[in-house]
Amino acid sequence: MSRYFTDEHEWIDVEGEIATIGITDYAQEQLGDIVFVELPAEGATFDKGDDAAVVESVKAASDVYAPISGEVVETNGALEDEPALVNSDAEEDGWFFKLRVTDASELEGLMNEAAYKKFVASL
Amino acid sequence: MTGKEDVATIEEELPPGTLPLDAWHRARGARMVVFANYHMPIQYEGIMAEHSWTREHAGLFDVSHMGQLSFSGEGVDEALEQLLPSDIKGLKPFRQRYSMLLDEEGGILDDLMVSRLDGGAFDGADIYMVVNGATKYDDMGWMIEHLPDEVTMNHMDEQALLALQGPEAGDALATLIPETAGLYFMQSGPFTWRGVPLWISRSGYTGEDGFEISIPADNAELLADALAALPQVKPIGLGARDSLRLEAGLPLYGHDLDPRVSAIGADLGFAIQKRRREEGGFFGHARVMKELADGPGSRRVGLRVDGRLPAREGAPIFAGDVMVGEVTSGGFAPTLGAPIAMGWVSLPHSALGTALEVEVRGKRIVATVAPMPFVPHRYRRQKSA
């Protein structure tokens, strides 16, 4: 399994043709206390860059973009009852949704963990 | 003297300013944002934690961006009564009142606190006023334009303003200044701490008991340090200030109030005392009387929003297919664990208990007109004998 990162602060775990997507610990830290996560419907299809989810913090609403194209095969129902999971465990249990990847070549050019850390440090 | 437009123009050209406690906030790890054209702390450890801390203990807020004004001179009460719809002549020394600046058509230019001094504090001025930070230069321009020459207005930008809010604020402040224990809600007075002159009022913007403390800017860090060192006190950012005041049902100027809306529609009629209603003689009196008689076109109401998705400022409010209003403040209420909102709704749809809908990202959510405050006020009021 490989983990990729975007400059929009999403992480993507790819296993076969399934990608699990969430926001990074840096992103949750920036957003602050998360009170609601609006997840996409299962079966929805996204092109890379489409609005896929919305994170509501106490402060404001923020869009989460589909980092790659694909079809939603599963969403994290635990976030409905406990949106704060994104704060406490952004990069594991606080995942958002899983996509069936339509074009794996879109993963090229995304950052690995070391590159993402460097990117965050530069902000 | 410069007129209103000149002052406004100067303000727009200025880059964001820094307040006396800027370095103090940064040293405590605050995340800074620009608000009212100042760098200000939005949060320290997190809005939810800071919000809860203030509801349970005591929060220290830096509100030095607000405009602190003093007024003196022959006929100052009469002059201010033309600009404010509240009873100024009947305002006793050390008493404070909530009021508004109204324009000729009764639109709200700002909301504010006004209090009578004792003849000693602030160079012997008669009246002390605290206005919103984002509007202070416009307010000053408006007042300069409309006050007679005999009345002097002084912008005390050398003063910082700290707020200490929460159920433990009284005990906390009394450990530094025991005499403050004698203050009740909306009372104020001069105090001295380590030789520094303070003007303290028992009031605030959270719905909790608490104080606002005016202090010379040079001494603000010293007092902030002393307060923050108390076990009951933590510094709190603007983020929690907003969620606290929303739960308390208190309007935020520029969002819930603006020049298009009226005092009666805003449910602020309590600030217009009986004598003023009867006698008039203030800007906007005609509109106030008309709306008291016929009702305002729309009203500021509280809304309880179903589910967990917050409806924020700008969300349209519907009764069936008809848009009947708009959310002007909205968010998640940490104390209630649910979304709440404040908005303006046309009069026929504004009764308590009316089930309306708000639209968020194309989705309709049930929102019910609810009494405010959403979380009960816990002011320390003087029991009437």
Q: If you measure CA to CA, which chain A residue comes closest to B50? A: A33
**B338 shares its domain with B236:** no
Determine the Cα–Cα distance for residues B46 and B34; give it in Å rounded to an integer: 18
State which of B247, B277, B311 marks the end of a domain.
Answer: B247
A63 touches chain B (CB under 8 A): no
Position A59 scores a pLDDT of 82
Q: Do A36 and B309 touch (CB under 8 A)?
A: yes
Residues from chain B that touch A38, judged by Cβ atoms under 8 A, are 309, 361
Spans in chain B with pLDDT lower than 50: 1-8
Please name the helix (run of DSSP H) or strand (run of DSSP E) that holds residue B162, with its range, or none.
strand B159-165
Q: Tokens 């809600």 correspond to what residue?
A: B185
- DSSP letter, residue B126: S
**Which residues in chain B have Cβ-Cβ distances shorter than 8 Å to A57?**
47
Q: DSSP secondary-structure letter at B242? A: H
Q: What is the pLDDT of residue B13?
A: 65
**Residue-range definition of the domain harbouring residue B24:** 4-64+158-247
Residue B267 lies in a domain: no
Residue with tokens 């399934």: A18
Asked whether residue B302 falls in the same domain as residue B363, the answer is yes
Tell me which of B206, B222, B247 is where a domain ends: B247
Kindly state whether residues B236 and B369 are assigned to the same domain.
no
Nearest-Cα distance to chain A for B336, in Å, is 12
Say if residue B224 is in the same domain as residue B166. yes
Find the CATH number of the domain harbouring B311.
2.40.30.110
Chain A touched by B48 (CB under 8 Å): yes
Q: How many domains does chain B have?
A: 2
Q: What pLDDT is stored for residue A29 in this prediction?
A: 93
ipTM of the complex: 0.83
CATH no. for residue B41?
3.30.1360.120
- Which DSSP category does B236 fall into? -
- Does residue B191 fall inside a structural domain? yes
Do both B384 and B308 map to the same domain?
yes
pLDDT on residue B120: 87
The answer on whether B212 is annotated among ligand-binding residues is yes
DSSP strands (E only) in A6-121 = 10-15, 18-23, 34-38, 45-46, 51-57, 61-65, 70-75, 97-101
B170 and B58: one domain?
yes
pLDDT in tens, A73-118: 999 999 999 999 999 999 999 999 999 999 999 999 899 999 999 9
pLDDT at B1: 35
Q: What's the maximum distance between 2 C-alpha atoms anywhere in chain B?
A: 63
Of B43, B310, B339, the CB nearest to A32: B43
pLDDT in tens, A23-45: 999 999 999 999 999 999 999 99
Query: Considering the domain boundaries, does residue B143 fall inside one?
Result: no
Answer yes or no: is B384 within a domain. yes
Amino acid identity of residue A93, one-letter, is D
Q: Report if residue B166 sits inside a domain.
A: yes
CA distance A87 to chain B (A): 11
In this structure, the number of other CB atoms found within 10 A of the CB of residue A65 comes to: 16
B212 falls within a domain: yes
Q: For residue B11, what pLDDT is reported?
A: 52
Question: Does residue B55 contact residue B208 with C-beta atoms inside 8 Å?
Answer: yes
If one counts every other C-beta atom within 10 angstroms of the C-beta of residue B286, the result is 12
B60 and B175 in a single domain? The answer is: yes
* Domain-located, residue B271: no
Q: What is the CA radius of gyration of chain A?
A: 13
* Residue B81 within any structural domain of the chain: no
**Could you say which of B184, B215, B247 is where a domain stops?**
B247
Do B362 and B302 sit in the same domain of this protein?
Answer: yes
Q: Residue A60: its pLDDT value, please?
A: 86
Residue B330 in contact with partner chain A when CB distance is under 8 A: no
Instruction: Determine if the peptide bond prior to B373 is cis (ω within 30°).
Output: yes
Q: What is the CATH number of domain A2-103?
A: 2.40.50.100
